[in-house]
Structure 1
Amino acid sequence: MNLALFDLDNTLLDGDSDHAWGQFLCDKGVVDPVEFKARNDAFYEQYKAGTLQINEFLDFVLAPLASRSREELMILHDEFMNDVAFGMVNEMGKQLVNWHLAQGDLCAIVTATNAFVTERIVRYYFHVPHLIATVPALDNGQFTGKARGTPAFREGKVTRVNAWLESMALDLGCFEKSWFYSDSLNDVPLLEVVSDPVVVDPDAGLRLRAETLGWPIISLRGRDEEGAGEGIILKA
């Protein structure tokens, strides 16, 4: 059995679901459309620059969950799925996931975006059985606005993947091959511990790291007419 791990935002999705959810809340008038948008955009730029302070960001992004009932949030999320997330799903990303599933690989999506936003995206659009995401804390069924446990961000992704595997009496050494697909320099810690790191439409920092280390670089954005289910190899 082999292991296939996938980043979600800007890898399997054309865009960032965390940022898109924040913009959706602005558009719906759930949050202040000026102040919240400004902070949402600023945090996203910090993420792309590799300077994001994850706990500060989580306090911001999870706060709206604590101000609404679960019923209200699910209605909003239904709209988000139909109006926003559906249009972000990358068809070549789906093909890549399906190829690994068809091989019988153990598959999981590993994302810093919280599980409330991502769980149904993963389940409905990619049919991946396992999600490793940042967990929003609950108290008597109500979101508290805080995160629980280790956020699935940078080194936290490695911690969370190892804990998930350990819960099944496994570790990375149990697999002949282990892949991780990602676009972001923030994901270097997990890319470094799998046997087969694969860089997908990378940001500038990750592209430089991949070229230096000889990691494969692929595109899931149709940049080459010879693309196949495993992605388009741009640089081996």
Structure 2
Amino acid sequence: MNASNDDAGGGGPVIAFFDVDNTLMRGASVYHVGGGAYRRGYVTLRDLLRFAWTQARFVAVGENLRHLEIVREKALGLAVGIPQSEVEQLAEEIFDSKIQPRLWPESVGLAREHIAMGHQVWLVTATPSVVANVIARRLGLTGAIGTELETSDGHYTGNLIGHMLHGPLKADAARGLAERIGSALSECWAYSDSRNDLPLLELAGHRVVVNPDSVLLRHAVTHGWSIMNLNKKSIRAARRRLRREAN
């Protein structure tokens, strides 16, 4: 997909789309939801160990659709019957105790630099929106688009609204947002570590791969995309690129 041929128009704000897991933070955010749910008695130790295995594999080899499906199944199962207000409170606690210490300061700093330049910064993630919204708000970002969990009478049903936000569905959600607010996709930015986010990266005019997996790294090199490794030299280069290309 070529951003110049799929432009949402002009005159609207520039958007920077950020993946969350292994882009904004180390590891999978939903794993920590599982840990918090265990501490509250929502899941068993066996469930938690399965979350831990998935997290370890995710950190070691990168995002894998089967791993995400395992996490999704467990997350939906633990959500059945739980009041929405309790999960919102849990998300706040998890941000403070588990997510914030695992944030990449460099990636967060770049997101905030976009905000300082007048851009909107949206998280686009498979993480449940109840968690993604907390991350965005606590970091001072514009907002988040995440996987939507169904509720009935203020309690989670264990069902999704639509599908898990992953792969091409992330790109669809980003395109829809750009269309609603009149942003030109050719002027927008996208950041991710994963091959699964190629549709999202290809949507934006400015693509930055962050600590990319091997497949995404090869694609980025072949197509001349910007590559940001989390070291001082690479971060400085990314910030110079942002300032130069945003003007």
TM superposition score normalised by structure 1: 0.82
Deviations 1:86-120 (A, max 9, x none): 21222212210111111112321111111122211
Aligned to 1:102: 116
Contact 1:22 1:37 in 2 (8 A): no
Aligned to 2:9: none
Aligned to 1:206: 216
Aligned partner of 2:146 among 120, 133, 141: 133
Q: How does 1:1-236 map to 2 (within 5 A)?
A: 1-38=13-50, 41-42=53-54, 45=57, 48=62, 50-52=64-66, 57-124=71-138, 126-168=139-181, 170=182, 174-219=184-229, 221=230, 223-224=231-232, 227-228=235-236, 230=238
SS at match of 2:62: helix
Provide closer, same or farther for how the CA distance between residues 161 and 78 of structure 1 changes in structure 2, counting only shifts above 3 A.
Answer: closer
Deviations 1:160-210 (A, max 9, x none): 112222333x36xx2552210001111011111211111001122211221
Q: Which amino acid aligns with 1:91?
A: P
Distance 1:183 1:140 in 2: 37
Distance 2:221 2:32 in 1: 30
Which moves more between the two structures, 10-19 or 224-233? Answer: 224-233
Distance 1:15 1:178 in 2: 26
Provide closer, same or farther for how the CA distance between residues 140 and 35 of structure 1 changes in structure 2, counting only shifts above 3 A.
Answer: closer
Deviations 1:64-104 (A, max 9, x none): 12232234334433331221112122221221011111111
The Cα shift of 1:39 comes to 5.6
Higher helix fraction (1 or 2): 2
- Higher relative contact order, structure no. (Cα contacts within 8 Å, ≥ 6 residues apart): 2
Aligned residues between the structures: 227
Distance 2:118 2:54 in 1: 40
Cα RMSD for the two superposed structures = 2.8
Provide closer, same or farther for how the CA distance between residues 62 and 81 of structure 1 changes in structure 2, counting only shifts above 3 A.
Answer: same
SS at match of 2:135: helix
Contact 2:28 2:55 in 1 (8 A): no
Consecutive unaligned residues in structure 1, runs of 5 or more: none
Q: Which amino acid aligns with 2:211?
A: D
TM superposition score normalised by structure 2: 0.79
Distance 1:56 1:89 in 2: 23
Consecutive unaligned residues in structure 2, runs of 5 or more: 1-12, 242-247
